[in-house]
Structure 1
Amino acid sequence: MAGNSQRRGRRLTSKKGAVKGSGGKNRDSLAGRGRTLPADERPWHKGYSGTEKLPERTAWKQEKERRAAAEEGRAPKIGQPGSKDTTWGRGGGRGVPGGRGAVSRGGAASRGGAPGRSGPRVAPGRRSNPSKDGPELMVGRNPVLEALRAQVPATALYTAQGLEADDRINEIVRTAANRGIAILEVSRAELDRMTGGVLHQGIGLQVPPFAYESFEDLVATSLEQTAPLLIALDGVTDPRNLGAVIRSAAAFGAQGVFVPERRAAGITATAWRTSAGAAARVPVAQVVNLTRALKACQEAGFMVVGLDADGDTDLYDLEAAVGPLVVVVGSEGRGLSRLVGETCDLTVSIPMVSDVESLNASVAAAVTLAEVARRRAVEA
């Protein structure tokens, strides 16, 4: 027989047979699903207006969650506006969501506990996500314990394998379990990777972004006290300095701290850890323009005092310390900016024995606040 008739694998039929179809069973999958609903019409979205009727399936799930929450004695975790723990801080109320963006549980919580891919990647002293709506990872036994005591919303608790339990660890785990927070055990190397080398003491708490206090509320609340005292930071970009200032503010009776929104440190996991949990007790506000904020304080009756190495007044001669006071702390490199320095009612220098060029911003704030507290105690 000529040709390739004897070749192995030759075609034995003259043409390909009919292709089997689905019989129309997949016709529905090819049909369009209609228009994309806007945010205010999606019941699971934070922007839901509440005017649209809930889909039957969604309503059933929410009712099931409400019943389960009532039996367990906790708040329901349903997709209604304001019901999900999306932010934390005194700006949204103590332990009350501030409603500024959803939090991805991510990591091992959504991957069946796979330790090799769990949690956010955090560089040393920085956030894992530059977005303001990204979750944070608090580390350290005292900061995590203070966060849980303050009812800070949290999505996951990470513990290192072989962690030596003490009273703080026992309370942390017990509190997290009572609140229904996922507790994930990972290797110490994995926790090191997640924190980027930051000292974590074998514990980490993943939380949503911080909700800041309103500046107007901060000033009004301070004026209700017998000795109003606020702290303003001008160009302080290190979150560790911010955390240390907040800790000093809590120690010496200041009613709050306010910082610029841009080119300044905000409340991150590093700032929280440095504050040793004081950020849960001292309200922090962000302002668009620091100079205008200081002028608003002056109009409200505050004396605005800026710390400057070449200040006109010695700290020990600051008689204005007994009245309503705003202490402005500049950055370590350039100190107070020109406009802020011109806005201050007076500038104050800290007397030093040796020829040290300058003090750390947080140390300078602590020394000043200690002297203010001493003067007020004497006058009382």
Structure 2
Amino acid sequence: MALAGIGADLEGVHAVSAALEAGRVTRIVVEHSRQGELDHLLRRARASGVTVDTIDDVRPLARTGAPQGIVAEATPIPPLGLDELLNQTPDPAALVVFDHLTDPRNVGAIARTAWAAGVGGLVVSGRRSAPLGATAFKAAAGALENLRISEISSVADAIEHLRRREVWTVGLAGDAETTLYDTKLFTEPVAIVIGAEGKGLSRLAAERCDQLVSIPMAPGPESLNASVAAALAMYELARARGWVT
């Protein structure tokens, strides 16, 4: 299913505040008991013409179990086409491709790290993937307001398109012989491909990546959480480019 827009429903203080800063929020519903604590945010909202309603409990309106006493409605963010994303991304490109991740909390956590590590954008599939909804935006804590996001219908086709645009693709795979710390591609235009929780990279995505890399681990564990593996890869990219020391 195509993403007509993302981030229309929000909850949690950081997600609502970031969307308010971006000028997207149209309505806020806040619990009576949180008004004092959130007074600064609510003043900003009212000054921007946002409708603010108060009720006893916002949980019936929320998608997650801990909305922090505040939910909001917002104008959706329209996703970019892949070429639009590449044209807007500083050179050399640094992207992250989601290969059908299904946990929106992982999606949000990866987005939060991507923003911190200097990644230029995210490439997400509109099918068989976690929705970029309230849960992902809450976990991202504002990052999804600050990252370029492209929607694609096929991860394998997107990898081929990236190759035609001279962007290398590096997939994370537990059985790869080359390690994350040995790749020479992170100083080039590159997209890191993150596989689904449990399953890892899909067969077609793995076959089409320019290089597969693994993350060295002590004996015993079979794999890392997708968001942890992605964080290690993104910060190794940032280190290779001299963005962090």
What TM-score do the two structures reach when normalised by structure 1? Answer: 0.60
Which one of 73, 83, 93 corresponds to residue 216 of structure 1? 83
> 1:156-171, aligned counterparts within 5 Å?
156-163=27-34, 165-166=36-37, 169-171=38-40
1:173 and 2:26 are equivalent in the alignment: no
Tell me how far apart the structure 1 counterparts of residues 155 and 64 of structure 2 sit (CA, whole Å).
Answer: 34
Tell me how far apart the structure 2 counterparts of residues 171 and 237 of structure 1 sit (CA, whole Å).
Answer: 35
Alignment identity in percent?
Answer: 33
* 1:137 CA drift (Å): 3.1
Aligned to 2:186: 321
Which one of 183, 186, 197 corresponds to residue 55 of structure 2? 186
Tell me how far apart the structure 1 counterparts of residues 95 and 60 of structure 2 sit (CA, whole Å).
Answer: 38
Instruction: Verify the 8 A CA contact 1:312 1:346 in the aligned structure 2.
Output: no
1:234-275 Cα distance to aligned partner (Å, 9 max, x none): 110111111111111111111100111110123211111111
**Amino acid across the alignment from 1:137:** D
- Indicate the SS of the match to 1:370: helix
Which has a greater percent of strand? 2
Aligned to 2:12: 140
Tell me how far apart the structure 2 counterparts of residues 256 and 135 of structure 1 sit (CA, whole Å).
Answer: 16
Cα 1:367–1:299 shift into 2, 3 Å:
same
Which ranges in structure 2 are unaligned for 5 or more consecutive residues?
A: none
1:19-64 Cα distance to aligned partner (Å, 9 max, x none): xxxxxxxxxxxxxxxxxxxxxxxxxxxxxxxxxxxxxxxxxxxxxx
* 1:171 CA drift (Å): 2.7
What TM-score do the two structures reach when normalised by structure 2? Answer: 0.92
* 1:217 CA drift (Å): 0.8
Aligned length: 243
**Amino acid across the alignment from 2:34:** L
1:321-341 Cα distance to aligned partner (Å, 9 max, x none): 111111000001211111111
Tell me how far apart the structure 2 counterparts of residues 196 and 317 of structure 1 sit (CA, whole Å).
Answer: 41
Tell me how far apart the structure 1 counterparts of residues 243 and 62 of structure 2 sit (CA, whole Å).
Answer: 45
1:298-352 Cα distance to aligned partner (Å, 9 max, x none): 1111111100000131111111111111100000121111111100011000011
CA RMSD of aligned residues (A): 2.2
- Indicate the SS of the match to 1:333: coil
Aligned to 1:31: none
Tell me how far apart the structure 2 counterparts of residues 163 and 349 of structure 1 sit (CA, whole Å).
Answer: 45
Aligned to 2:92: 227
